[in-house]
């Protein structure tokens, strides 16, 4: 019987130090290749390492060792995957999350030596700092996506991100404005600069990145409609217009007559701003813009104008995005067809709309029950 060639060996290198060597066959030039690593501990530990690598070879998941650090790998992933497959905003978000939570904590570790516990400790640290479970899950989504690509590139055999435990997210009920509060809000908008932006947001249900990208060409004053065709994206190095969030986000929304009237007056005021700015004016055809024609920023709008409006109207502090939630909630409470609400919001499905605004459903269920009882029993 022919003698089987040994695929691996263990050699003592020093006190409690062992060299584990594994044959990887031959390269394209016929030269033999080896996987070599050093194990500190007893010979049994070295044997365990060798057995592990032999087992990986047998089932086809063994990968050659790489000296890439997590930081180096992530930089590569950003350039060759994230930047190509995602929007500029999403790619910038990936980079920001990694820099904020991983680069200085575990970024210098070698990719092939990254353990689930390393990632788990980062998440525990974020929670200890008071960050939310949702923030941890956002961070994890980026790490999981990047390490999944590392397995495809055969840099690691198994992603350690698949073996960590994530904190449970407790949904908070959104605070929205009711009908009376919404009327007070709209009245207060008339007295503060850029108030029309927030009135427009409330009455259309658009996302902030959508109404800040609305151009005059998107408005039809005769039909009283506004088309959502792009989104304003802030990213490293400036801003740009991107496609809307989903295919359903491209939509046409009918505007209330009072809002159309206010927009016409706003257009007249903007003409004076344009003449006053003269050569400093940047023509992007934006409906809502700065005194020089440039896009407005969400943080600036929120702190300088939106919150003062809430204070003036004696309303609770809500987020700018909650105007969108208010729009949807008011329509659903008014018994508008969920399909119509979903289309106005640009949701991908009606199911998403009903799931997002499930807190409204108990009221709707009560109304439906009352109607049914009236029809049957009079």
Check whether residue 43 and residue 126 sit in a common domain: no
- My answer on whether 150 and 200 are in the same domain is no
| Nearest-angstrom CA–CA distance, 207 and 212 | 9
Both 87 and 122 in one domain: the answer is yes
Domain-embedded: residue 206: yes
Which single residue is written with the structure tokens 């000296």? 67
CA distances to 28, 79, 341, 345, 357 from 351, rounded to whole Å, are: 55, 35, 11, 13, 10
Distance from the Cα of residue 315 to its chain's centroid: 29
Instruction: Assign residue 253 the CATH number of its domain.
Output: 1.10.443.10
Residue 204 sits in the same domain as residue 250: yes
Distance CA(245)–CA(54), nearest Å, equals 47
What pLDDT does 64 receive?
A: 61
Same domain, 16 and 41: yes
Of 163, 193, 225, the domain-final residue: 163
**How far is Cα 8 from Cα 55, in angstroms, rounded to an integer?**
11
Indicate if 40 and 96 belong to the same structural domain. no
Q: From 266, 272, 143, select the one nearest 216 (Cα to Cα).
A: 266
pLDDT at 139: 96
Q: Do 238 and 188 lie in a common domain?
A: yes
How far apart (Å, rounded) are the C-alpha atoms in residues 354 and 329? 10
Asked if the structure places residue 131 within a domain, the reply is yes
Averages of pLDDT over each 10 residues, the chain, 378 residues: 59 88 73 81 89 76 72 92 86 93 95 93 96 94 95 86 92 83 95 95 96 97 96 83 84 95 96 93 96 94 96 94 94 88 92 80 68 77
User: Is residue 121 one of the residues assigned to a domain?
Assistant: yes
Examine residue 369 and state whether it is found in any structural domain, yes or no.
Answer: no
Tell me which of 22, 38, 59 is where a domain ends. 59
Judge if 188 and 319 occupy the same domain: yes
Residue 140 belongs to domain spanning: 70-163
Residues 195 and 307 occupy one common structural domain = yes
Q: Residue 288 has what pLDDT?
A: 97
Comparing CA positions, the residue from 200, 146, 194, 218 lying closest to residue 324 is 200
Q: Do 193 and 130 lie in a common domain? A: no
Q: Domains in the chain: how many in total?
A: 3
For residue 77, the domain's CATH number is 1.10.150.130
Q: What pLDDT is stored for residue 260 in this prediction?
A: 96
- Long-range own/partner contacts, residues 311-314 (CB < 8 A, 24 or more apart): 312/188, 312/191, 312/192, 313/181, 313/184, 313/185, 313/187, 313/188, 314/184
Residue 362 resides in a domain: no
3 state SS of 11? strand
Contact 233, 209 (CB under 8 A): yes
Alpha helices by DSSP H, listed for 205-280, are 208-211, 257-277
- The whole-number pLDDT of residue 29 equals 66
Identify the residue whose tokens are 């009237």: 261
Specify if 335 maps to a domain.
Answer: no
Domain end, chosen from 323, 339, 357, is at 323
Q: Are residues 183 and 246 in the same domain?
A: yes
Inside any domain, residue 310: yes
CA-to-CA dists, residue 214 to 68, 153, 243, 254, 296, angstroms? 45, 41, 12, 14, 12
Residue 375 included in any domain: no
Q: Are residues 299 and 204 in the same domain?
A: yes
């Amino acid at each position: 019987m022919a003698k089987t060639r040994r695929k691996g060996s263990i050699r003592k290198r020093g006190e409690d130090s062992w060299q584990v060597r594994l044959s990887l066959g031959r390269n394209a030039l016929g030269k033999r290749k080896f996987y070599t690593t050093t194990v500190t501990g007893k010979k049994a530990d070295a044997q365990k390492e060798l057995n592990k690598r032999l087992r990986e070879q047998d089932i086809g998941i063994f990968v050659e060792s790489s000296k890439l650090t997590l930081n180096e790998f992530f930089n590569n992933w950003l350039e060759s995957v994230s930047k190509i497959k995602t929007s500029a905003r999403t790619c910038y978000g990936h980079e920001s999350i990694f820099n904020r939570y991983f680069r200085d904590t575990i970024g210098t570790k070698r990719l092939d030596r990254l353990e689930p516990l390393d990632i788990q400790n980062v998440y525990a640290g974020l929670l200890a700092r008071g960050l939310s479970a949702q923030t941890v899950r956002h961070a994890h989504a980026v790490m999981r996506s990047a390490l999944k690509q590392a397995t495809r590139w055969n840099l690691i055999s198994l992603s350690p991100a698949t073996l960590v435990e994530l904190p449970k997210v407790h949904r908070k009920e959104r605070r929205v404005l009711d009908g009376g509060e919404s009327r007070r809000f709209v009245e207060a908008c008339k007295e503060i600069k850029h108030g029309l932006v927030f009135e427009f947001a409330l009455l259309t249900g658009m996302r902030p990145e959508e109404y800040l990208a609305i151009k005059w060409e998107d408005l039809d004053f005769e039909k009283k409609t506004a088309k959502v065709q792009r989104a304003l994206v802030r990213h490293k190095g400036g801003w740009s217009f991107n496609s809307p969030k989903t295919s359903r986000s491209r939509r046409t929304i009918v505007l209330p007559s009072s809002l159309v009237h206010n927009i016409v007056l706003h257009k007249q005021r903007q003409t004076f701003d344009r003449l006053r700015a003269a050569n400093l004016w940047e023509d992007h055809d934006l409906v809502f813009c700065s005194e020089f024609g440039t896009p407005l920023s969400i943080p600036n709008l929120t702190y300088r104008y939106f919150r003062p409006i809430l204070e003036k109207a004696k309303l609770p502090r809500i987020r700018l995005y909650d105007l969108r939630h208010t729009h949807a909630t008011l329509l659903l409470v008014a018994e508008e067809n969920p399909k119509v609400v979903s289309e106005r919001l640009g949701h991908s499905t009606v199911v998403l709309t009903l799931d997002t605004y499930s807190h409204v459903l108990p009221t709707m269920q009560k109304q439906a029950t009352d109607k049914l009882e009236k029809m049957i029993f009079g």
